């Protein structure tokens, strides 16, 4: 199992364009992309503010202007 969403998206598109595969035949790729979206998007929404607050607290985030 690979952890890159781009891998599954390109593999599915390549199969559809070059091999003539149908959309429904690529369910493994679609399911992998859905699982990554369900896990990674909320995780990113939670982690980004944590990192921003840490950077502000430690003085590593400087604003200009």
Domain annotation covers residue 65 = no
Distances (CA, A) of 48 to 4, 11, 36: 19, 29, 17
- Tell me which H or E stretch contains 50: helix 27-58
Q: Domain range spanning residue 53?
A: 5-58
Burial, 8: exposed, middle or buried (Cβ in 10 Å; 0-12, 13-18, 19+)?
A: buried
Confidence band for 2, pLDDT divided at 50, 70 and 90: confident
Q: What angle do CA 3, 35, 26 make, to 5 degrees?
A: 85
Domain annotation covers residue 64 = no
Domain annotation covers residue 43 = yes
Domain annotation covers residue 44 = yes
User: What pLDDT digit, counting tens, does each position of 33-65 carry?
Assistant: 999 999 999 999 999 999 999 998 998 877 765
Please report the pLDDT score of residue 1 as a whole number.
65
> Considering just the CA atoms, what is the radius of gyration of the chain in Å?
18
Total domains present in the chain: 1
Confidence band for 30, pLDDT divided at 50, 70 and 90: very high
């Amino acid at each position: 199992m690979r952890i890159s969403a781009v891998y599954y998206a390109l593999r599915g598109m390549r199969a559809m364009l070059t091999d003539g595969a149908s959309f429904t035949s690529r369910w493994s790729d679609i399911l992998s992309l859905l699982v990554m979206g369900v896990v990674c998007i909320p995780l990113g929404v939670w982690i980004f503010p944590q990192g921003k607050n840490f950077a502000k607290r430690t003085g590593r985030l400087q604003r200009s202007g």
